[in-house]
Amino acid sequence: MSDIQRHHTNARMSRVVVHNGTIYIGGQTADDRSQDITGQTQQVLAKIDGYLKDAGIDKSRLLSAQVWLKDIESDFAGMNAVWDAWTSPGNTPTRATVESRLAAADLLVEIAVIAAAK
């Protein structure tokens, strides 16, 4: 198991796992849940940026993203506006976006990504 690196780990999960040249960043949510979809999405993407930086890469290395929205009808456009401004031009990952009941009622968005290490 030495070929698997786990970072930001607790008893339940690891926020980041690195294996075989691939970086997996688990679902991230906003800390300030009083914000709207724009604010929550910005917070989530900032967390992802931080984990990517810790791994020595940036968002241009993203391979895949999964986005969960509490209310896709209300929040899809707002999340996409932030997402589109954040992604690296010409390096957008594959992505799936679904509506889902999230872990807390005041969470509007959760995003998980997979990236290629250098």
Domains, the chain, ordered by start: 5-116 (3.30.1330.40)
**Does residue 1 register a pLDDT over 70?**
no
Residue type, 102: L
Provide the pLDDT for residue 40: 98
**For every residue of the chain, which 3-state class applies, written as one string?**
CCCEEEEEECCCCEEEEEECCEEEEEEECCCCCCCCHHHHHHHHHHHHHHHHHHCCCCHHHEEEEEEEECCHHHHHHHHHHHHHHHCCCCCCCEEEEEECCCCCCCCCEEEEEEEECC
Cross-strand partners of 97: 67
In tens, the pLDDT along 70-114 reads: 999 999 999 999 999 999 999 999 999 999 999 999 999 999 999
